Amino acid sequence: MKEARFYDKTGGGTVQCYLCNHRCAIADGKRGVCGVRENHGGTLYSLVYGKVIAAHVDPIEKKPLFHYKPATDSFSIATVGCNFSCQHCQNWDISQRSKNGGEIVGREMPPEEVVETTIQNKCASVSYTYTEPTIFMEYAADTMKLARERGLGNVFVSNGYTTTQAFDEAGILPDANNVDLKAFTERFYREVCGARLEPVLETLKYLVKKNVWVEVTTLIIPGYNDSPKELKQIAEFIKNELGDFVPWHVSRYHPDYKLRAPATPVEKLREAYDIGLQAGLKYVYSGNIPHEDSENTQCPNCGELIVERYGYNIARNKITGGKCPACTEKIDGVWS
């Protein structure tokens, strides 16, 4: 265990955690919503610092990040725990494992080892992913600082529930962050995820303002968040509040964990893709349906095919100096 950051002692043995927007008041001997931050005698501890449950080399496109160092690998790590309780979580066996006093498992992997392993595997970045990186922020922040010193990028794949106060106090931000914008209704967030929508929107605006490269993913679930009205609201929020340059990934859902809605029809992904473009977004992509043209990047000015993808692989990248080779239009992203 390691003493946590991002909390206040409030007296009577209770502490107030402000790492995420649940802002849990945690009594002595209890854990927060995430299941990995525990109060011992008025001191909050992280139970997962340096305790990795998953570690893999992944293509950066798997995050998904399509405009950040394409065709590079990222060393990806996670601990157990999550501050959401999504009924459709694909990694529920590790994200929900620590809930209700559950076991904290994983192997010791200090920040120095993460960075060295990243370099040994010729990866360009470290990704904090699979579960929710917010809940192991102390570990992530220490690792990010070492990674940056060695010229490596840092990538978050998150639900966007970190408080801006915690980001500020961490003293470092990721270079890129794919944020799940899971729906555009408070009801979905409350009933399906055990959270709220508004803090996610505020975090997204904060990250863009701080010049973190942001891409947004929405997993489209039939009957839950797939109405044309809601998809248009998401697209318009990205366009108007974040910027037309922020890529939107509309991804195919398949039944997992507790949610048993049918898999997303391919036609619905195509509809969402069109809605994004009609809203004025420059870059819209469909996920979990290989062989679609909507995996590719076209120049938003002249329509030239400039990045051709097949799943997580780059078949062709024609971007030169961050620009379209046909018309010299700037293509937003981090290309080198």
121 lies in the same domain as 65? yes
Give the per-residue pLDDT at 290: 73
pLDDT in tens, 33-90: 999 999 999 999 999 999 999 999 999 999 999 999 999 999 999 999 999 999 999 9
Cis omega before residue 222 (within 30°)?
Answer: no
- Three-class DSSP category at 233: helix
205 lies in the same domain as 166? yes
How many domains is the chain partitioned into structurally? 3
Give the per-residue pLDDT at 311: 86
Give the per-residue pLDDT at 101: 85
246 lies in the same domain as 321? no
Give the per-residue pLDDT at 289: 82
CA 209, CA 72: separation in Å to the nearest integer? 26
Give the per-residue pLDDT at 287: 85
Q: Indicate the residue type of 14.
A: T
Give the per-residue pLDDT at 92: 95
Contacts of 295 (CB under 8 A, 6+ apart): 285, 286, 309, 310, 311
- Three-class DSSP category at 248: strand
Number of residues that this document lists for the chain: 336
CA 111, CA 199: separation in Å to the nearest integer? 29
Give the per-residue pLDDT at 336: 81
325 lies in the same domain as 253? no
176 lies in the same domain as 278? yes
315 lies in the same domain as 220? no
Average pLDDT, the chain: 96
260 lies in the same domain as 141? yes
Give the per-residue pLDDT at 100: 86
List the domain range (segments joined by +) for residue 313: 298-336
Which tokens hold the place of 275? 């809605």
Give the per-residue pLDDT at 292: 77
**Which H/E stretch holds residue 205?**
helix 198-209
Residues of the chain with pLDDT under 70: 291
Which tokens hold the place of 187? 């009801």
Model's pTM, two decimal places?
Answer: 0.97
CA 178, CA 149: separation in Å to the nearest integer? 22
Q: Residue 204: which region, alpha, beta or left (left: phi > 0; alpha: psi -120 to 50)?
A: alpha
129 lies in the same domain as 83? yes
Answer yes or no: are the C-beta atoms of 189 and 183 closer than 8 Å.
yes
The b/e string for 248-287 (b: 16+ C-beta within 10 A; e otherwise) is: bbbbbbeeebeeeeeebeeebbbbbbebbbebebbbbbbb
Give the per-residue pLDDT at 35: 97
Give the per-residue pLDDT at 28: 97
- Three-class DSSP category at 137: helix
141 lies in the same domain as 82? yes
291 lies in the same domain as 197? yes
Nearest partner of 159 among 139, 183, 138, 141, judged by Cα: 183
Check which CATH number belongs to the domain holding 235 and give it: 3.20.20.70
